[in-house]
Amino acid sequence: MKKIFSLLLVALITASSAFAGEGMWLLNKLKQVNEAQMRQLGFKLTAEDIYSLNKASMKDAVARLGGGFCTGELVSSDGLMLTNHHCGYSAIQSLSTVEDDILTDGFWAMDRSQEKPAGFSVSFLQYITDVTDTVLSALNDGMSEAQRDSVIGVMAQVLEGNATEGQPHFQADFKQMFEGNEFYLFVYKTYPDVRLVGTPPNAIGKFGGDTDNWQWPRHTGDFSMFRVYTGPDGEPAEYAADNIAFKPKWHFPVSLDGVKKGDFSMIMGFPGSTDRFLNSDGVKLALDVEQPSRVKIRGEKLEIMKEHMNTDNAVRLKYAAKYAQIANYWKYFIGQQKGLKAQHVFERKKDQEDALMAWVNADPTRQAKYGEVRKDLADGYAERAQFEKASTYMQEAAFGSEAVVFGFRLYGLMKQLEKDPKDTKVITAMADQAKGRAREFWKNYDPATDQAVTAAMFKLISEDVDPSQQPEVIATVKKKYKGDFDKWAAAMFKTSVLTDSTRLMAFLAKPNLKTLQKDMGMQAMESSIGLYRNVLGPAIQDAQVKIDKGYRLMVAAMREQDPEKMWYSNANSTERLTYGIVNDYSPADAVHYDLSTTQIGILQKEDPTSDEFSVPARQKELLLAKDFGRYADENGNLPINFISENDITGGNSGSPVINGNGELIGIAFDGNWEAMSGDISYEPELQRTISVDIRYVLWTIDKFAGAKHLVDEMTVVKAPVKAETTGDVAPPAPVR
């Protein structure tokens, strides 16, 4: 009884208010929703210093990398940008060769002529528009879910088109919030010319490797440096020799003051996806089916890749970024399963649902509007559960074969050859496009590695998935190769145009339908895509209609039940702000973790026999000599990482960690193991953001790399100046 009461109490507390560290807040709502609480916690500026349409503000210095895979921040008036090492990992790996392995050895441009094209773009938020009223005016309760989605889709296109008309460098993103109850338009300006300026060696940037990933305490220098360029006219432009450094409206001053317990901290960035409104049915499906499947498949894939990477240095470089990406969320799903169970999230969600439905059923009007919420969700998840395992195995295993995925890139050409083989102009254009994709693909591809992965992945499908939900190629392997997936994969990779660059280029020089139809790789691709498109996808989508309707009404009911709560929407790759304090935590009985780490931990963890814990000779020499200069803390140690109560998720990697004066104090790079359930249920006593202390970043650039010119380019500040009139800290002047 005591445990049930405790869980119910937590649910009621969670339902009534947001914890100080909890929440991913929309920038255009900060003034009315968050500013007062932020100032109570130690924020010295105003909401308009963060987001303004009338003057330069912090939003102008926060960059979305690519489509939102990470975040970066500008730290100079010449477009110098900091982000995480793991965010720049693919670019660094792509620029590395066996002869010039900058991933392993590091790289520092000693002048701008040495900066290297990074291969991704960055975007800066221009403004946010709340279009909820506009969209809702076109909807009514009598619409089916399909009709509703259709109208919303049309309105999204119109609103995005209006926002970007006459603005060639603008991009508009229409986003639904609160599970389809609110709607916003985010408008960005995109800059395609981004160049690598500097990166520490992998031993610093990824110190601790997969062992320390998601763990605290950490000692990782997870940062890299880039520069944004524009055309000579200051407008976005593709890479060109005569491009100039971007002149931002704002860049962050960099503070040497460090952090202490209770300090205010905030993070701005582009969190990718959270599921805080996930109900108990969704939690159960994740725990029972989805997460165990992903962990098993990724674990086997990683084992095969690692074996090949360890035996060939060229393969190691080609697969470094792929391996890191797969491993990151392999460990994440392990931790999330553990966290969901340890924090009794299923039970807590169920208690919340019981309380909500009791409120709904207490009033006939509410019952008429929201009475079917629980049934819609339960029925939808029950239907989806029938196909979830097969769907997950297709995503992770079948499409875990690089050959199968590359085959999909030839699917359009194949269909064109079927449709009109005499239209040589279109076919030639599609073949030329495929050649470009192939060159990019083969830069980081090893057929022997992919052959082993492909055999293992399709074998897993054969063993674990209901035969009625397997792609037809599985039956072919069982019949023709007696279930020997290694033999099948060997035959495929020996003959397919997808697995040999010479065969592929010869085919693309003279494309013909017969070759593709007979190709074993294309057959595996068609079989997999066909199953997903024709069976699994539609079945899950049918179930999802009920689920989406259930969530839309459930969230509407929750907000109606508690209109005074500070509500925030799930992350969806739009720019958000989270704020809280720097704080330690106690993850278990008799265990306490301090809020910061120093160089002492690097030396304690050093293991010359391990790639994960090796310490470069120069770094070790400097650490032992305590040559820290102005970057030392008050005790004479070099600060490395710190933790805070900020609420982040994937996509926030590389985000600026900012103090109450608007100064950069760190770069966010990870969450902590004990709160891996946090994307579904925020855990205030446990949830922490792990950041690299900006003083370690500056020390590495200055002392370790000898690239002091890059530090000199930044606006480095030591002690804040007291404003004579108010006693508050004077805000740093916007850089114009």
The pLDDT value recorded for residue 468 is: 96
Question: Region 433-462: what's the mean pLDDT?
Answer: 95
Question: Region 76-100: what's the mean pLDDT?
Answer: 97
Question: Rounded mean pLDDT of the chain?
Answer: 93
pLDDT-derived band of residue 722, with 50, 70 and 90 as boundaries? low
Give the largest CA-CA distance in the chain.
Answer: 85
Q: Is 644 noted as a catalytic residue in this protein?
A: no
The pLDDT value recorded for residue 724 is: 42
Q: In sequence order, what are the residues at sequence separation of 6 or more whose Cβ sits closer than 8 angstroms to the Cβ of residue 57?
A: 48, 49, 50, 51, 249, 250, 734
Amino acid at the residue 536: L
Q: Is 653 noted as a catalytic residue in this protein?
A: yes
> Strands, DSSP E only, in 28-138?
62-65, 70-74, 80-83, 107-108, 116-117, 122-130
Q: Is the pLDDT of residue 728 over 60?
A: no
477 versus 724: the higher-pLDDT residue is 477
CB 97 within 8 A of CB 444: no
Question: Region 498-510: what's the mean pLDDT?
Answer: 94
Closest CA to 599 of 572, 575, 569, 622: 622
The pLDDT value recorded for residue 719 is: 66
Cα-Cα end-to-end distance for the chain: 61
CB 221 within 8 A of CB 694: no
The pLDDT value recorded for residue 731 is: 44
Separation of alpha carbons 154 and 175, rounded Å: 13
Separation of alpha carbons 232 and 246, rounded Å: 10
The pLDDT value recorded for residue 220 is: 98
Per DSSP, helices labelled H in 563-615 are 599-605
Q: Is the pLDDT of residue 463 over 90?
A: yes
Cα angle, residue 114 at apex, residues 110 and 116 outer, rounded to 5°: 130
For the record, the structure tokens of 621 come out as 């020499």
The pLDDT value recorded for residue 553 is: 97
SS3 content of the chain, % helix, strand, coil (to 5): 50, 15, 35
CB 219 within 8 A of CB 640: yes
429-440, pLDDT tens digit by residue?
A: 999 999 999 998
**Residue 681: strand, helix, or coil:** coil
CB 163 within 8 A of CB 172: yes
Question: Region 208-218: what's the mean pLDDT?
Answer: 96
pLDDT-derived band of residue 19, with 50, 70 and 90 as boundaries? low
The pTM score is 0.92
CA 185 to chain CA centroid, Å, is 21
337-392, pLDDT tens digit by residue?
A: 999 999 999 999 999 999 999 999 999 999 999 999 999 999 999 999 999 999 99
318-342, pLDDT tens digit by residue?
A: 999 999 999 999 999 999 999 999 9
For the record, the structure tokens of 165 come out as 């008309």
Domain 5-121+192-275+570-717: assigned CATH number: 2.40.10.120
Amino acid at the residue 539: A
Q: Is the pLDDT of residue 289 over 70?
A: yes
* Locus of tokens 């001053």: 253
538-590, pLDDT tens digit by residue?
A: 999 999 999 999 999 999 999 999 999 999 999 999 999 999 999 999 999 99
Question: Region 661-688: what's the mean pLDDT?
Answer: 95
Separation of alpha carbons 648 and 632, rounded Å: 28
The pLDDT value recorded for residue 422 is: 87
User: How far, CA to CA in Å, does 592 sit from each of 20, 216, 588?
Assistant: 21, 11, 8
Q: Is the pLDDT of residue 736 over 70?
A: no
Inter-residue long-range contacts of 30-39, CB under 8 Å, 24+ positions, other chains counted: 30/577, 33/566, 34/566, 34/577, 34/579, 37/566, 38/264, 38/266, 38/579
Q: In sequence order, what are the residues at sequence separation of 6 or more whose Cβ sits closer than 8 angstroms to the Cβ of residue 83?
A: 63, 65, 70, 71, 72, 73, 223, 224, 226, 653, 654, 667
pLDDT-derived band of residue 153, with 50, 70 and 90 as boundaries? very high
Separation of alpha carbons 38 and 25, rounded Å: 12
pLDDT-derived band of residue 718, with 50, 70 and 90 as boundaries? confident
Per annotation, catalytic residue among 52, 60, 76, 86 = 86
Share of the chain above pLDDT 90, in %: 93
Per annotation, catalytic residue among 49, 173, 193, 222 = 222
Share of the chain above pLDDT 70, in %: 95
Q: 591-593 and 585-588: which strand pairing?
A: antiparallel
The pLDDT value recorded for residue 487 is: 98
Per annotation, catalytic residue among 52, 90, 255, 653 = 653
Closest CA to 115 of 246, 233, 225, 251: 225
What is the domain partition of the chain in residue ranges? 5-121+192-275+570-717, 130-190, 280-557
